[in-house]
Amino acid sequence: MTAANNRRTIAVASGKGGTGKTTISTNLALVLAQQGKSVELLDCDVEEPNCHIFLKPQIHSSKPVNVLYPSVIQDKCTGCGVCAQVCEYSAIVVVKNKVLVFPGLCHSCGGCTLFCPEEALEEVERQVGIVEEGSSSGIHVIQGLLDITELMSAAVINGVKKSAGLSDIVIIDSPPGTSCPVIESVKDADFVLLVTEPTPFGLNDLKLAVGMVRQLGIPFAVAINRCDMGDGEVQRYCDDEHIRIILEIPDDIRIAQAYSRGEMIINVLHEYKGLFVQCLETFFNQKDPGLNTGQDGQ
Amino acid sequence: MKIAVSATGKSLDDQVDARLGRVQCFLIVDTETMEFHALDNASINAGGGAGIQTAQMLSEQNVKAVLTGNCGPNAFQVFNAAGIQVIVGVSGVIRTAVEQFKSGAFSQAATPNVAPHSGMKGGGGMGRGRR
How big is the CA angle at B15 (ends B13 and B19), to the nearest 5 degrees?
Answer: 150
**For residue A230, which amino acid is it?**
G
- Closest approach of A159 to chain B, Cα-based (Å): 17
What is the three-state SS of A168-192? Answer: CEEEEECCCCCCHHHHHHHCCCCEE
Q: Tell me the mean pLDDT in the region A201-209.
A: 97
Residues A119 and A134 in one domain: no
pLDDT value, residue A287: 60
Residues A19 and A87 in one domain: no
Size (chain B), residues: 131
- For residue A208, the chain B residues in CB contact (below 8 A) are 130
pLDDT value, residue A5: 59
Rounded Cα distance between A167 and A40, Å, is 6
Residues A169 and A267 in one domain: yes
Instruction: Cite the DSSP H helix spans in chain B.
Output: 50-60, 73-82, 94-102
- For residue B120, the chain A residues in CB contact (below 8 A) are none
Pairing of the two strands A139-146 and A121-136: antiparallel
Residues A153 and A107 in one domain: no
Task: Look up residue A103 and give its DSSP letter.
Answer: G
Minimal CA–CA distance to A234: which of A207, A209, A198?
A198
Last residue of a domain, one of A80, A110, A125: A125
pLDDT digits (tens, 9 = 90+) for A52-109: 999 999 999 999 999 999 999 999 999 999 999 999 999 999 998 899 999 999 999 9
Rounded Cα distance between B10 and B40, Å, is 9
Under a CB-based contact definition with an 8 Å cutoff, are residues A137 and A33 in contact? yes
pLDDT value, residue A237: 98
Residues A80 and A133 in one domain: no
Residue A290 has pLDDT above 70, yes or no: no
- Closest approach of B53 to chain A, Cα-based (Å): 7
Q: Which residues, including other chains, have CB under 8 Å from residue B104's CB and lie 6 or more apart?
A: none
- Nearest residue of chain B to residue A174 (CA atoms): B129
**CATH number assigned to the domain comprising residue A267:** 3.40.50.300
Last residue of a domain, one of A77, A100, A125: A125
Question: Are A151 and B83 a contacting pair at CB < 8 A?
Answer: no
- For residue A153, the chain B residues in CB contact (below 8 A) are 127
Residues A142 and A178 in one domain: yes
Does A134 reside within a domain? yes
pLDDT digits (tens, 9 = 90+) for A210-263: 999 999 999 999 999 999 998 899 999 999 999 999 999 999 999 999 999 999
Task: Look up residue A262 and give its DSSP letter.
Answer: T
How many structural domains comprise chain A? 2
Pairing of the two strands A191-196 and A8-13: parallel
Residues A273 and A208 in one domain: yes
- Nearest residue of chain B to residue A179 (CA atoms): B130
Under a CB-based contact definition with an 8 Å cutoff, are residues A142 and A40 in contact? yes
* Torsion A105-A111-A116-A119 (CA) sign: positive
Minimal CA–CA distance to A265: which of A280, A246, A250?
A250
Last residue of a domain, one of A105, A125, A145: A125
In degrees and rounded to multiples of 5, residue A192 shows phi and psi of -120, 130
Does A110 reside within a domain? yes
pLDDT value, residue A285: 78
Under an 8 Å CB criterion, which residues of A touch B?
A: 15, 17, 47, 84, 89-91, 93, 95-96, 98, 100, 102, 105, 151, 153, 176-179, 181, 205, 208
Rounded Cα distance between A45 and B129, Å, is 11
- For residue A177, the chain B residues in CB contact (below 8 A) are 128-131
Rounded Cα distance between A120 and A114, Å, is 10
Residues A176 and A35 in one domain: yes
- For residue B55, the chain A residues in CB contact (below 8 A) are 95
pLDDT value, residue A288: 55
Domain membership of residue A263 as a residue range: 8-54+129-284
Does A290 reside within a domain? no
Which one of A90, A98, A152, A206 would you mutate to disrupt binding with B, by most B Cβ within 10 Å of its Cβ?
Answer: A90
Does A27 reside within a domain? yes
**CATH number assigned to the domain comprising residue A86:** 3.30.70.20
Residues A105 and A187 in one domain: no
Minimal CA–CA distance to A101: which of A138, A72, A127, A128?
A72
Chains A, B: CB pairs < 8 Å: 58
Residues A45 and A159 in one domain: yes
Q: What is residue B44's three-state secondary structure? A: coil
Domain boundary assignment for chain B: 2-115
Does A198 reside within a domain? yes
Other C-beta atoms within 10 Å of A241: how many?
Answer: 15
Residue A293 has pLDDT above 60, yes or no: no
Residue A6 has pLDDT above 90, yes or no: no
Query: What ipTM score was computed for the predicted complex, to two decimals?
Result: 0.79
Topology, domain B2-115: Nucleotidyltransferase; domain 5 (3.30.420)
Residues A86 and A30 in one domain: no
Does A294 reside within a domain? no
Residues A119 and A142 in one domain: no
Does A2 reside within a domain? no
pLDDT digits (tens, 9 = 90+) for A110-128: 999 999 999 999 999 999 9
Question: Are B52 and A151 a contacting pair at CB < 8 A?
Answer: no
